[in-house]
A and B are shown apart, each in its own frame.
Chain A
Amino acid sequence: MGPSGSEYRRVPPIAVSSSSTLVNHTGSWKYIRPLFQDRVAPCNAGCPVGIDIEGYMNLLREGRVAEARDLLLRENPMPGVTGRVCHHPCEVSCNRESFDRAVAVHAVERMLGDLAMPEVPLPAPPARNQRVAIVGSGPAGLACAYHLAGLGYRVTVFEAATQPGGMLRLAIPEYRLPEAVLDREIERIRARGVEIICCVNVGDDLPWWSVRANYDAVFLAPGAHRDRALEVEGEQSRGVEPGLKFLEDVKRGNRPNLGRQVIVVGGGNTAIDCARTAVRMGADCLVLYRRTRAEMPAIPDEVEEAEREGVKFEFLAAPVAFESKRGRLKAVECVRMRLGPPDASGRRRPIPVDSDHFTLPADTVLTAVGEVTDLAAVPQDLERQDSALRVGAWGETSGVRVFAGGDVTDETRSVAHALGAGKRAAIGIDRYLRQAAGEPVEPDGLARLRYGGSGNVSITRWRGDDPIQRASPTNDVVRFEDLNPSHFQRAARRDDRRLHSETARSGFTEVNLGLTRDGALEEARRCFNCAVCNGCELCLIFCPDVAIARGTDGNRFDIALDYCKGCGVCAAECPRGGITMTRAGL
């Protein structure tokens, strides 16, 4: 019940407001304005495959698991494989590493890769008539095939071995990459319409001229399958075996007799694979490496697992002679090394200390000091550079319509780099074939396609069909200094589940079991979501002028420029560097 008329008269005269301050367009005060601007996360820029990691992490944070998986599959045909065997440089570049520890991207990728997925995530565009032949079904060849099929081409892959997969099939041990996982990944690539023909040695069973004449383009990805020689006296003795040949032998189901003591020479992943495989066959194993642990090219996690399984290491040592007795290897004579100044690879060069020799007993030596390309297996008219095929930025060789990628070129030798090279060449081939068909193509669009300008290319950028709406995207990479870490809290990185090392060394069961689905989803929530808006609303809550509101029309936020005074608090407080202050448009 309100006061009556006579009661009002008893209230002294007082000024009462009748309007709001909305009539004041205080936005006219500003000289700079905020702009929601998605940039590039360092993981994306650091990924040799060119995966939108930040994109799928953000989808996972929202619980959109299927969409995250599809986004991943756009760029990476075999996430189940890379989730297991990639050296994950994404984690090295992760901004969270400067805060507590990097996000376990590999485990999240693996979880997504392991989700059963019979469907083909990228809808195929209208089919194109051109046919592409791919030589070699390792990660480079299969990636090229997968992306070309996604672009509508008719693709045939020729594989010399009895089954597709290249090194993934032949050399990576079952305990790191179960064949069932590889089979499933290849099944999905086939489901895109890729034809894979095994037991065909192109250049032998099928002449090069016929392949080059019958296909509109050819992609060469035969890999590098020959062990580099040690060039040490006695290397031809019985008991000194190439490591790669040993791994292939074991994967075929053979169990060569190694004797009691095995010495592996080398420090890369092949060396560690050899050592752990030898341990599983009951041998005592010592890895001989001429540099120190810090310079080992092998994945550090693999080295640690090898140690847990009982593999011993002798660093700063190299073999100089193999001693045999009655045709059977008995010992390895070694020289002590010391580290000199850095060499071309940036690692310190090992120098022998001639006065310091020692002898180690050995029944078997496995050599794993790198693989070399067999250039006799590719057409002889293609230009070489050192011991590799010379290719341009798009994977083009000196031969017309012939592209190449992977270990046959001077690409870094990793599964991820091979997958990335295959994708680059797929875009190169698409570009070439479109050009040949008289369609307009950008003269040099490679930098635009590369994450951060220098990372690997994105097929989504090439196709121009990004399912994620991005706000004024730029190709700059967001560094830790661009973030506001005040808004992050420390959270422990989740470790992969692993078999107990005693169980692990007794067989070939997969050792690293990754994270559970829930564990991986939790790990994904550790992602800073660098450089993209994840709707945290800190900008909204800190705006002194109530000028930022939940967006309409699909925009995450609307900025009321009539009222924004341009103070920049939103940009300073954005945890992930997603807001830029600019004069543009004022």
Chain B
Amino acid sequence: MSQLMIADRVPREELMTSGHVACPGCAAPIAMRMVLKALGPKTIVVMPASCWSIIAGPWPQSSLKVPLYHAAFETGAATASGVRAALDMQGDTETTVLVWAGDGGTFDIGLQALSGAAERNENILYCCYDNEAYMNTGIQRSSATPWGAATSTTPAVQPQSTHKKDILAILAAHRIPYAATATVAHPVDLLEKVTKARAIRGTRFLHILAPCPPGWKFEDDETIELARMAVRAGVFPLVEVEHGEHWRFTAEGAREPVGPYLRKQGRFRHLGEEQVRQIQAEVDRRWNAMRRRVESSESDEDGSLAEGG
């Protein structure tokens, strides 16, 4: 079949409602909607402070049809650990506890709690939808903001001067059973990863790239295109890693230059050709590092097969 006929592959059930207050073209609700479709109604969402705390609606509204527990910024993984323990005490092993956190609540403020939960291998699924800054409070930089990007705290005259934290490697270093990247532009890949994660016990981590029209400064209708370009340019490789060791690309398209991806976004408008080259060099470095991880996983697997055979 030559076309993506997605209609047959996406669960019909809608667990997110219209009328939420995300900006037009926001990727965050697209990500939530797809993840909940894969998890089903037996899900409890724990949500530290993020754009989604607002998207879920002001009291007494909720835009989710599953229980949603708003938690303090730094406590996503800790709160989820508690919810999990309570469910376990009730003998409920079926319900998935989903942490739904932004990049601020994951890369920065919630990292300690996340590291603790991962170290204990808490039985939770932690999803970070990453829009690469504190968008809800006015586009302040986070440690997920890429080098060179303009934000309200790193304006164009002095843009972000550090590289994006490699959160997947941090989580993989905890040797949790499953960690993966995904984007809103690759729904089948995303659904497959969530479905796979749902069936695993222990800490599972999903890093979802969620482009932000006002924060990245692109047109509302380009959200999906930006996520797709990020993958094609190798800025955001689609990978998964099991037990911190077995790395695998889940999509490895043609590597395209990073320039067109950057040029589509106002937050990179101030960059000159030289800086674009610097970003390309960093993307290449990270891509090659990822490739080495994947290749060494492959050769390990070959070796173990040889021993077994």
Contact = CB atoms under 8 A, between A and B. Distances in A.
Contacts of B62: 17, 19-21
B21 A15 contact: no
Nearest to B8: A537
Interface of B: 1-7, 10, 14, 16-22, 24-30, 33-34, 56-57, 59-63, 65, 68, 184-185, 187, 213, 219-225, 228
Interface in A532-563: 535-538, 541-547, 560, 562-563
Contacts of B68: 17
Contacts of B185: 486
B220 A20 contact: no
Contact of B220 (A21, A543, A567): A567
B2 A30 contact: no
Interface of A: 15-26, 29-30, 486-491, 525-526, 528, 535-538, 541-547, 560, 562-563, 565-569, 571-573, 575, 581
B19 A25 contact: yes
Contacts of B34: 541
A26 B19 contact: yes
Contacts of B24: 29-30, 544, 565-567
A525 B57 contact: no
A572 B228 CA distance: 13
A569 B29 contact: no
15 contacts: A23-B19, A24-B57, A24-B61, A486-B225, A486-B228, A538-B4, A543-B30, A544-B27, A544-B30, A545-B20, A567-B213, A567-B220, A567-B223, A568-B221, A573-B225
Contacts of B221: 567-569, 571-572, 581
B67 to A, nearest CB: 9
Closest 4 A-B residue pairs measured CB to CB? A568-B221, A563-B18, A567-B25, A21-B19
A543 B17 CA distance: 12
B59 A26 contact: no
A21 B223 contact: no
Contact of B25 (A21, A24, A538, A544): A544
B18 A545 contact: yes
B177 to A, nearest CB: 28
A30 B25 CA distance: 11
Contact of B18 (A17, A26, A541, A572): A26
Contacts of B14: 546
A571 B25 CA distance: 12
Contact of A20 (B10, B61, B222): B61
B176 to A, nearest CB: 29
A563 B19 contact: yes
A20 to B, nearest CB: 5
B6 A21 contact: no
Contact of A569 (B10, B56, B220): B220
Nearest to B90: A1
Contacts of A528: 3
A537 B61 contact: no
Given A15-B60, A20-B19, A567-B24, A538 B6 contact: yes
A491 B3 CA distance: 9
A486 B57 CA distance: 33
A488 B3 contact: yes
B222 A572 contact: yes
Given A541-B34, A569-B25, 20 more contacts: A15-B59, A19-B62, A21-B20, A23-B19, A488-B3, A525-B2, A536-B3, A537-B6, A541-B187, A544-B27, A545-B20, A546-B16, A560-B18, A563-B19, A565-B24, A568-B219, A568-B220, A572-B221, A572-B225, A581-B221
Most chain B beta-carbon contacts within 10 A, residue among A30, A486, A575: A486
B22 to A, nearest CB: 6
A513 to B, nearest CB: 23
Nearest to B213: A567
